[in-house]
Amino acid sequence: MLAQPCFADQTVNARYVTHRWGVGLEVGDVIDRARVAARVRMVMAGEEGDRARERARQLKLQADQCVAASFALDNLVQYVLSL
């Protein structure tokens, strides 16, 4: 994911995507065709992109585990309510 925050909460969101979650790159302060093209190449073919995709896979697995646990809890609640 490429991030280019402009205003409001976009700066925080971009920081989470790039620094906290590690699944993207910021375009930078200056936006021009060459910079965007370079960032796209980095994400699509570079090591940064490989790391971001691997990190996204890890986050997906964690999210899947959370959802699975949530379904189990929902099933337990429904069972208890049915008694």
CATH number for position 22 = 3.40.50.2000
- The pLDDT-based confidence of 51 (bands split at 50, 70, 90) is very high
Domain count, the chain: 1
What's phi and psi for 75, nearest 5 deg? -65, -40
pTM: 0.72
Domain interval for residue 40: 2-82
Position 52 pLDDT exceeds 80: yes
CA distances from 78 to 65, 69, 70, 72 (A): 20, 14, 12, 10
Give the CA radius of gyration of the chain. Answer: 19
Q: What's the pLDDT score for residue 29?
A: 85
Q: Which residue has the higher pLDDT, 67 or 33?
A: 33
C-beta separation of 41 from 74 below 8 A: no
